[in-house]
Structure 1
Amino acid sequence: MGARVGLFSLLLGGVCAQLEVMVDSPVAAQLGSQALLPCTFTVANAPISPEYLAVHWYFQGQELASYDDSLSISRPGVSMDTEQLASGNASLVLHNVTVSEQGAYRCLVIHSPDRGEQSLYLAVLAVPTIAIPSKAVLRGEPNLLKCSVSGFHPADIAVTWLRAGEVLPASPLPAPQRNPDGTFNVSSSLTFQPTEQDQGVAFSCQVQHAALPRGALQTDFQLVFGVSPMVNIHAPTFVQGKAQVLMCDVKGFYPEAIAVNWLLNGVRTEAPRVNPNGTFNLESFYQFKPVAESEGAEISCEVQHETLSRPIVRSVRVHLEYEGTQVSVIVLLVSGTVSALAVAGVAFFLYKRSRAARQMFTASDIVGPKVWVPGEYVSLVCIGYHCSAGTEATWAKCQNEELMPIARGDPSGSDGEEQPLVPINSLYKVQTQMLPLDKGSATLATTLMFRVRSPEDLGARYQCCFISKDGRTLSTKEFGDYTLRPSAQTQGPAVDPAAARPAEE
């Protein structure tokens, strides 16, 4: 309710006049808006004479603006229309209001020989925003849902959880945390164990706050029944001075958004890799070149997912093997039957041969899940080591003795960066990653991702072929060691694809 105060003049020199100053208080303004602080005045029985007029505005003991023949602004973001003074309007305007500008303001008007003043209060309001960080829950297990309310002012707020319009018991609301700009954040928690009856039901987070025009704000959502990822880390034998590739295998998760981090002795080695592309399996690769000081170091793969209350971490310890180890064993075995000179010659020959063999191209077996379910995604991974420039990987599907090319993965120009999953057609996506090694060679990792179909994948085998720049086939690997398991919508026993293949002549 506005308050009006009339202040009467002082009797000076036997002359009596009357000055009345009026304000409306309190004044409410939205954060970032323009606030008008109204201050008007009248002079009884006499016109307003500009030569006798002065106006001063104060906030927290400091002058903001003043008028005495001319306007003087003491703080940026403040204005006053001097043309309105003659009609008795001394209002002040604040531009782009901040929380720090909330408080009591004083309007002082002097119309000589009289003076009058009045105070008003400015309340700054900031509308809250609501976010549900994660809607993913695990069926039949205790889950924690959070409703994050941010950017509101003042601090008083109420948060209510609803299920199909009915109030749910929630944890007590903690004290709001203050932001640098003076607004507040708070997070409300709901702990419950979802069941099948909760699927498709509308849950709500409702907020009551003074800044809301209708008093309440509500966000509705439905639960997403998720699955936590399974994480395994695969590491090669660590050889000092040789770059090797580690793989973090993340499987069976839902929903699809996931972050994978690599850590060396607990320190993140690179930015998180986020997978928002709808897949349900993910392979992340990390190239590591150990030195002598790496002995005993810990390499970790950290996975963050909506269904996890804390990240999953899988780790391996670095135990170095040295290139000369196997040669020295051979020397000990033959030292009793040949001369020292012959031993030296044999050792040198074997060392050079083993060194050359390590630099030759090799390919891993195709890695993939052992059980396939129609409708679910699978990823097949194959890695080529010591690839020369221009090496490519191709995928093919073999069924009923017919070889059907799927895709060619071209890693050229990747410079060690993971390439996105490239849609080859409506059925398959391929991802390639080239990790540079020493002396111009590199490690090429290729991933084939697709949704299992039945009966199309019954008895099928998948091939990965590495091809050199000049068109030579370096290696071909085949994967067919899996069992096709019926989905929940189908019936019947699991099928071994080997049993479904035609007998070989």
Structure 2
Amino acid sequence: MEYLGLLAALLVLLHQSGALLKISTSSPQRAFAGSDVLLHCTFSIGGSSIDPRLLVIMWFYQGKEIVKYQDKLEISHPRVSFDERAARIGNASILLSDVKIEDEGIYMCSVTYSSEKMEEEIILNVLVSPKIQIPHKAVGDNNEKTLVCSVTDFYPVDIAIIWLRDGEIVRNSSMGKIQRNINGTYSVDSTVSITLHQERKKQTFSCRVRHESLPVPLQEDFQLVYGAQTEETSTIPVIIGVCCAAALVAAVGIGLFIWKQKSSKKASGSFTLSDIDGPDKLIDGEVVTLSCTGDHWPKNPRVTWLEEKAGVDPESIQSHGGDLEEAERLLNMSYVIDTKHMGSQRWSSNLRFTFHVANHKGVTFICRFTSGKTTHEKRFHCNEVYGKNVCFINIRINHILTKTENLLYV
């Protein structure tokens, strides 16, 4: 009996000393610049409850301490947040907001419980999607033409660029030296020399880009403009008097002002926003993805998702990044927003969440694009829904686009 009592005491001592401490992380993780990412780190004490007095949680980035939780919370990173209540039940994750390229690197989650300490490294990779520009599409009477495809603002540095003529690969292309931009992204030009055929003017040329940040290749298609003056042939020497020169400058200035005004109005009027694409059936407990795409937005639009309930003003939805199921399980974060630049002035935004009849029946989700003083929005209305094992009830989806001049938001 004495032996059994001694053994039980030893087991209790081992438990109290933290011998059953386990830690779990997810690595590597990826995040787009400008998004939020949840760096996962959870721990357990052999299924027992956690005594906060014995717990110390620390986070390091590239060896430098950024978070320390021991009775009180200390954070030395301006864009990192930590949930103390979650930490007391085994979740040591941190949320990194507005991810930047300089946030890429190795993070370490360190958990100490009583006398036992465990650490795990998490590698964060940051992504920025490239943009394509074809600056010169006009050709003169020459037999040859050098085409340039400028690929800008991408990260990381590895990239592949190919040229196509009517869908067939053009083999004699070359890529210039990759340049590093001030903001940490990269840019590069790819060129190809082609022989012009007057009888084949309708050929379609394409610049196709593959990059780690792109789920599918980014491609710009175009046709050459024949008979236009190129930069090399358009310069004509002109001699004018001082008075005439002043008048010409004034006329050009007025013309540019009028042109900019018209261009601004035209650009504003060309902004488009697709209807929100969502599932035909809304089932209680299932993950829902709503998608909205904007075209012809010359500047980076501000994309906002809102939730509107009957009799209540719309509320902005906050995204916590990362994987929806993991985020909801760990910190009860219910929405994930992913907005990406798809090239050619196209932007796509997705809203993912777990649909619950109690929370979402009768709710209207709003996707709002804003650039300067121009705002477009679309609505997805959940009118009648159904739970599992219930006959399907027709769902009415209303899409509303309010006129731009009536939509000015502060």
The TM-score bracket by the shorter chain reads 0.5 to 0.7
Which one-letter code corresponds to 2:244 in the other structure?
V
- 2:287 is the counterpart of 1:285: no
**Amino acid in the other structure paired with 1:245:** C
Residues 5-37 of structure 1, C-alpha deviations (whole Å, 9 max, x = no match) = xxxxxx999956221111110000011110111
* Residue in structure 1 matched with residue 173 of structure 2 by the alignment: 171
Aligned to 1:157: 159
Query: CA 1:136 to 1:12, structure 2 compared with 1: closer, same or farther past 3 Å?
Result: same
AA aligned opposite 2:255: P
Higher relative contact order (CA 8 A, sep 6+): 2
Structure of larger gyration radius: 1
Long gaps (5+) in structure 2: 1-12, 259-410
Secondary structure of the equivalent of 1:100? Answer: helix
**1:239-269 deviations in Å (ceiling 9; x for gaps):** xxxx54359xxxxxxxxxxxxxxxxxxxxxx
1:57 to 59, 64, 82: 59
Give 1:106's aligned residue: 108
Paired AA for residue 39 in structure 2: L
- Are residue 234 (structure 1) and residue 197 (structure 2) matched? no
For the aligned residues, what is the CA RMSD? Answer: 2.7
Question: Which deviations, in whole Å up to 9, do the C-alpha atoms of 1:282-314 show, x marking residues without a partner?
Answer: xx836xxxxxxxxxxxxxxxxxxxxxxxxxxxx
User: Cα distance 1:420–1:235, how it changes in 2: closer, same or farther (>3 A)?
Assistant: closer
Deviation at 1:229, TM superposition (A): 2.1
Within a 5 Å distance, the mapping from 1:117-266 to structure 2 comes to: 117-214=119-216, 216-225=217-226, 226-227=228-229, 228-229=233-234, 231-236=236-241, 244-246=243-245
Shift of the 160–24 alpha-carbon distance from structure 1 to 2, 3 Å rule, reads same
Paired AA for residue 138 in structure 2: A
| C-alpha distance in 2 between matches for 1:418 and 1:56 | 61
Unaligned stretches of 5+ in structure 1? 1-10, 237-242, 248-283, 287-413, 424-505
Q: Retained in 1: the 8 A contact 2:208–2:219?
A: yes
Residues 48 and 200 of structure 1: is their aligned pair in 2 closer, same or farther, counting only changes over 3 Å? same
2:362 aligned residue: none
Which residue identity lines up with residue 220 of structure 2 in the other structure?
A: T
TM-score, normalising length: structure 1: 0.45
Contact map agreement 2:160 2:211 (CA 8 A) in 1: yes
- On the 8 A contact 2:18/2:45 being kept in 1, the answer is no
Q: CA deviation at 1:87?
A: 2.1
The one-letter amino acid of 1:234's match is I
* Contact 2:56-2:113 at 8 Å conserved across structures: yes
- Answer yes or no: is the 8 Å Cα contact 1:55–1:110 preserved in 2: yes
CA 1:111–1:421 in structure 2 vs 1: closer, same or farther (change >3 Å)? Answer: closer
Name the TM-score, length of structure 2 as normaliser: 0.55
Equivalents in 1 of 2:257, 2:118: separation in Å? 76
Question: C-alpha deviations, 1:409-442, integer Å up to 9, x for none?
Answer: xxxxx7x87543999xxxxxxxxxxxxxxxxxxx
Question: Does the Cα contact within 8 Å between 1:139 and 1:195 map onto a contact in 2?
Answer: no
Corresponding position of 1:314: none
Matches within 5 A, 1:458-497: none
Q: Does the CA contact (< 8 Å) of 2:34 and 2:100 recur in 1?
A: yes
Is the contact made by 2:18 and 2:116 (CA closer than 8 Å) also made in structure 1?
Answer: no
Change in CA separation of 1:141 and 1:180 when aligned onto 2, cut-off 3 Å: same
Give me the whole-angstrom Cα distance separating, in 2, the residues matched to 1:48 and 1:137.
73
Counterparts of 2:17 and 2:253 in 1: how far apart (Å)? 89
**1:45 Cα deviation (Å)?**
5.5
Q: CA deviation at 1:172?
A: 2.5
Cα distance in 1, alignment partners of residues 120 and 18 from structure 2? 21
What is the distance in 2 between the residues matched to 1:88 and 1:420? 66
- Superposed, 1:404-483 pairs within 5 Å as 418-420=253-255
How many Å separate the matches in 2 of 1:35 and 1:422?
Answer: 44
Contact 2:18 2:114 in 1 (8 A): no
d(CA) in 2 for partners of 1:23 and 1:171?
Answer: 44
Cross-structure match for 1:316: none
- Residues 159, 79 of structure 1: CA spacing in aligned structure 2 closer, same or farther, 3 A cutoff? same
SS of structure 2 residue aligned to 1:231? coil
CA distance in 1: counterparts of 2:81 and 2:52, whole angstroms: 19
Contact 1:102 1:123 in 2 (8 A): yes
Greater fraction helix: 2
Shift of 1:65: 1.2
Q: Aligned equivalents of 1:48 and 1:103: distance in 2? A: 31
State the distance in 2 between where 1:97 and 1:30 align.
7
Of residues 222-231 and 65-74 in structure 1, the stretch that sits farther from structure 2 once superposed is 222-231
Shift of 1:205: 0.3
1:442 aligned residue = none
Cα distance, 1:171 vs. partner?
Answer: 3.2
Write the letter of the residue equivalent to 1:187.
Answer: D
Change (3 A) 1:167 1:197: farther
Output the CA distance in 1 between the equivalents of 2:245 and 2:47.
92
The corresponding residue for 1:69 is 71
Counterpart for residue 438 of structure 1: none
Q: CA deviation at 1:193?
A: 2.4
> Counterpart in 1 of 2:385?
none
CA apart distance, 1:191: 1.2
Contact 2:17 2:114 in 1 (8 A): no
The sequence identity of aligned pairs, in percent, is: 37
Alignment: residue pair count: 242
Q: Is the 8 A contact 1:33 1:96 kept in 2?
A: yes
